[in-house]
Amino acid sequence: MARKSSLLKQTLIFSICLILALYAVFNTFFNPTTSSLLYPSPEDNSLSGFPGKVTENNDNNNINKVKIFMYDLPKKFTTGIIQQHALARGSKDTSNVKYPGHQHMGEWYLFSDLNRPEHGRIGSPVVKVDDPDEADLFYVPVFSSLSLIVNPVRPAGTEPGLVQHYSDEEMQEQLVEWLEQQEYWKRNNGRDHVIIAGDPNALYRVLDRVKNAILLLSDFGRVRPDQGSLVKDIIVPYSHRINVYNGDIGVRDRNTLLFFMGNRYRKDGGKIRDLLFQMLESEEDVVIKHGTQSRENRRAASRGMHTSKFCLNPAGDTPSACRLFDSIVSLCVPVIVSDSIELPFEDVIDYTKIAIFVETTDSLKPGYLVKLLREVTSERILEYQKELKKVTRYFEYDNSNGTVNEIWRQVAQKLPLIRLMTNRDRRLVKRDWSQPDCSCLCTNQTGLIISL
C-alpha cells in the first residue's frame, strides 16, 4: 500500500512538471510578444544602423529615443558664416545664399536634419525636443569648418577686396564665450553637448575649452590624447565630392589598375605622397596625377575612379582624406596607405572587406604595391565591390537612411558614458589634472599629433 502511494505521488509530481513544461513551451513559442523576439520579422531592419523596423515617427516610437535639443545659436555662428563666405567672393545680395559645397559639409546636413519637422525624420535614432529640460543631449550647430574657408586664398600680389576681413579665431572665441554663459553647458561642464569640428583645423583655438563635449571629428591627427578619443568622440566621414557610381559591379570597364588624383605635396604624414608619385608615375596601367580642388578636376577624378579597379588613398596633412569616401561611392577598391587612420562607423563596417591596407614602409618598397594589386583576382575584386555597394549609403549625407542617421546613432550610444562621467564629476572633490580624463583613455595613444 505504501509502495502504491509513493508511486502515485511520483506520477502526480511528474504530471504537474509536464504540464508546467508544456505551458512554458506554449507561452514561449506562441505568445505574440516573445515569439517576435525569438523570430524577428523579415522586415526587421537590423542592418540599417539602428535596431527595429523603420516606421513613421509618432509619440510611441519616440518614447525610448535619445532626446536632443539644438541650440538656436546667434546667426553669426550659422547662417551668418554662409553670408560672410558669399560676401568674401563678391556677392552683393546674401539674402538667398546657400551653404557652399565642400568636403566638410556634414555640419550643414546635421543642422538641416534637426530643422526638419519630426514627421519628416523617419527612422532617426534621436528625437529633437524644443524644451531643453527634456533633453538628454545638446547639439551646438556651429559651422566651424565653413568658418575656416570664408576668406578666399588670393594669389600673391593681389589687393584685398573691400569686404571687411573675416576672423575665424574671433568666431571661435565668441562661440565659447556664448556657450559658457548657457545654463545647460555650465550644468555638466559641457559633457552632454555635441559639437562638430569636421575639418582637422576647426575650433583649434578653443579645443581645450570644449573638449568635454562629444566631438564629431574626421580624425585625431591634430587632437591631443587628452582632448579626444574614440571612447568619447565620433569619427564622421567627409562629404564625398564626386558623383556616385550607379553602374553594376564588374571589372570589364575598369581598365586602369590604380588611380590617384590629388595634391602631390603635403605636410607631415602626407609627405609620403611625393615618394609614391616618384615610384608609381612610370608604372603601366597606373594613373597618378597632381591636381587641386576645382570643378574640372572633380570631373576628371570621377572619370578616373569610375574606370579604375583600385584607388590609392595615402595620408594627407592628417591621416584621413576625402578621397577615401570618393573611392567608396565609386566602387573603386580603396588602397589605404595611412598607418594612423581612424575610420567612421567601425562598429558596423568591417573595412578589411572593402579596402586593402598597406603599411607605409611596405608601400615604399620598389614594385611592392603594384605587384600586390596585380595578384588580386577579378573574382576578389568583385567581392570587394559587392561589399562596397552594401555600405555606400553610410557615406551619403543626402540619403534618408545614410550618414546623418548613422552619426545620430553613434551619438545616442555615447549617452551611458556621458551619464557616468557627469555623475562621477558630481561626487569627486579632488582631481589629478596632470593625467588625461578617463573618457579619453584607451585610444589615440599612438596616433600622430600634428602641430599647426
pLDDT digits (tens, 9 = 90+) for 423-443: 988 887 666 655 655 555 444
In the chain, the amino acid numbered 101 is G
Q: What pLDDT is recorded for position 303?
A: 95
pLDDT of residue 55: 35
Residue 442's contacts (CB-CB under 8 Å, 6 or more residues apart) are 229, 230, 231
Cell of 47: 542592418
Domains of the chain, each with CATH number or no CATH: 66-150+170-235 (no CATH), 256-395 (3.40.50.2000)
Q: What is the CA radius of gyration of the chain?
A: 27
Positions of the chain with pLDDT lower than 50, given as ranges: 1-4, 7, 12-13, 20-59, 155-158, 162, 441-452
- Please tell me the distance from the alpha carbon of residue 11 to that of residue 6, in angstroms, as a whole number: 9
Q: Tell me, what's the pLDDT at 431?
A: 61
Question: For the chain, how many residues are written?
Answer: 452
Give me the pLDDT at residue 426, please. 84
CA atoms of 155 and 151, how far apart (whole Å): 12
Q: Other C-beta atoms within 10 Å of 385: how many?
A: 21
Instruction: Give pLDDT tens digits for 161-184.
Output: 545 689 999 999 999 999 999 999
Which class for 408: exposed (0-12), middle (13-18), buried (19 or more C-beta within 10 A)? buried
Element (H, E) at 259: strand 256-262
DSSP letters, 367-381, are THHHHHHHTS-HHHH
pLDDT reported for residue 320: 85
Residue burial 242-263, b: 16+ Cβ < 10 Å; e: rest: bbbbeeebeeeebebbbbbbbe
Q: What does the pLDDT read at residue 448?
A: 43
Q: What is the structure's pLDDT at 432?
A: 61
User: CA angle, 148 as apex, 87 and 277 as ends, to 5°?
Assistant: 115
- Rounded distance between C-alpha atoms, residue 192 and residue 418, angstroms: 6
For residue 452, what pLDDT is reported? 37
